[in-house]
């Protein structure tokens, strides 16, 4: 793509670094910004910069938060002894939308994936083990997507925790295999949390 303007080229190149945005889409978006009032572009840039500068990870559940302890962790009505293990904030949002879960979350920040070079130590697994060691956890619910990476991650955590006196369960797989939680409809996802099964049983079903 040949540009007559260096400024335009820079803007397009930056925009095109976003996932799913090719050069042509980037050009369309940048030209769109040019048509809008200047202050709208400033607001847009400010929102992104402030998000990046000020966003925190909750010190308890590692979810994305504006404050040190997220709204869910600081809500005294939530059950601290039940922890739902998820990959990222999209899963938290999907499960919260069902209104069927009143416990806490533990956000791993990804899944174990040798292909992508993600090992257990890059995730927040140790912090989950510490919570269980502290003796205040009664149940862990695995709610990772049922991909190979999800299964590997579940099993890794299960082995780390199996000697502690806690229940471990997995959300019932009414959700289509390989379907990500964020795409499941609320009723199906809500039911799969209520009808969760003991973890050992869930691995027998899938293997």
Task: State the residues that interact with Zn ion by CB under 5 A.
Answer: 58, 60-61, 63, 70, 73
C-beta of 4: minimal distance to Zn ion in Å? Answer: 49
Rounded CA-CA distance 113/54 in Å is 29
Residue 33 token pair: 């910004």
Q: In 10 A of CB 144, how many CB atoms?
A: 23
C-beta of 37: minimal distance to Zn ion in Å? Answer: 38
C-beta of 207: minimal distance to Zn ion in Å? Answer: 33
- Among residues 11 and 61, whose Cβ is nearest to Zn ion? 61
Q: Please, are residues 68 and 91 in contact by the beta-carbon 8 Å criterion?
A: no
147's CB contacts (< 8 A; 6+ apart) are 111, 178
Rounded CA-CA distance 58/79 in Å is 17
- Among residues 26 and 89, whose Cβ is nearest to Zn ion? 89
- Among residues 73 and 175, whose Cβ is nearest to Zn ion? 73
C-beta of 60: minimal distance to Zn ion in Å? Answer: 5
- Among residues 78 and 160, whose Cβ is nearest to Zn ion? 78
169's CB contacts (< 8 A; 6+ apart) are 139, 140, 141, 142, 196, 197, 198, 199, 202
């Amino acid at each position: 793509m040949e540009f007559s303007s260096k400024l335009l080229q820079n803007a397009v190149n930056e925009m095109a670094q976003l996932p799913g945005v090719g050069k042509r889409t980037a050009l369309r978006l940048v030209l769109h910004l040019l048509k809008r009032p200047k202050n709208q572009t400033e607001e847009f840039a400010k929102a992104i910069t402030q998000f990046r500068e000020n966003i925190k990870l909750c010190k308890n559940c590692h979810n994305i938060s504006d404050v040190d302890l997220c709204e869910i962790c600081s809500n005294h009505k939530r059950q601290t002894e039940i922890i739902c293990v998820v990959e990222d904030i999209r899963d938290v949002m999907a499960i919260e939308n069902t209104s069927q879960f009143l416990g806490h979350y533990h956000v791993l920040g990804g899944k174990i994936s040798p292909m992508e070079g993600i090992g257990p130590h890059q995730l927040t697994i140790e912090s989950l083990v510490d919570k269980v060691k502290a003796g205040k956890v009664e149940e862990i619910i695995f709610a990772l997507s049922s991909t190979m990476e999800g299964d590997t991650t579940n099993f890794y955590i299960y082995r780390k925790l199996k000697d502690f006196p806690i229940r471990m369960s997995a959300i019932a797989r009414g959700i289509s295999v390989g379907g990500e939680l964020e795409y499941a409809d609320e009723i199906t996802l809500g039911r799969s949390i209520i009808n969760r099964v003991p973890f050992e049983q869930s691995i027998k079903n899938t293997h």
